[in-house]
Amino acid sequence: MPRTLKLGVNIDHVATVRQARLAAQPSPLEAAQLCMAAGADGITAHLREDRRHIQDADVIALSQAGLHLNMEMALTEEMVRIANTLVRPQSCCLVPEKRQELTTEGGLDAVASLDKLMQWVPVLKSAGIAVSLFIAPDFAQIDCAKQCGAEFVELHTGSFANAVSASEQAAELDRLAKGAEYAHSLGIGVNAGHGIDYENIKPLLAAVPHLHELNIGHSIIARAIMKGVGAAVADMLELMQDYAGE
């Protein structure tokens, strides 16, 4: 039975290790190639405004290597210019950024950012870049994704991943399922990501329909430290194999 659910592996944490010593290794490009060889469908890399991990040269190298690149980026003129003129990724995911955060802490407020989205999403699409919004599974946010012309939403799964009780987890899964159903009804593709790991992926897949792609980074890279990148990706793909969300 062919696997229908796609896996995008986020390699930011490979660059985090490299930047700790400002060294050449570990190479995000080499890690990306190993992920793809192991069966991943694409690579996600977040070029942050503060350049704390992934660098401009990384996303350019990933693009030039012919890998399917999903570039995470803030909704700024600088990032749109880099994506359109230097990188030309197959897709981009628009995310919020705070300088003081450890990692992306929540979804983009598409309602508050609608004017910018209406300005920049068409520019990205005109370069042949598929656009996704990293948002909470709220109907108002999904409506804005539809209004600005984004082809995908990436539902923020962090609240589900951080749930501390069974009832809280169930409530978050219900929100995600309803958000996925609503986005699908509007003709928007549904991706998901943030905090997905080898333990919580099964309840997520059992509850949330219409998923097109999961973007997973930290848990795969953490396991890769112990088991190797190929084995870590293969382990995740095995857990995704039987998804039947349609």
Q: CA-CA distances (angstroms) from residue 213 to 41, 117, 197?
A: 9, 22, 14
- 213 with 4: CB under 8 angstroms? no
| Dist CA 9 CA 12 (whole Å) | 9
Cα torsion 80, 86, 88, 92: sign: negative
Active site residues: 46, 72, 194
Contact by Cβ (8 Å): 68, 90: yes
Q: What separation in angstroms does the CA of 49 have from each of 80, 85, 204, 228?
A: 12, 17, 31, 30
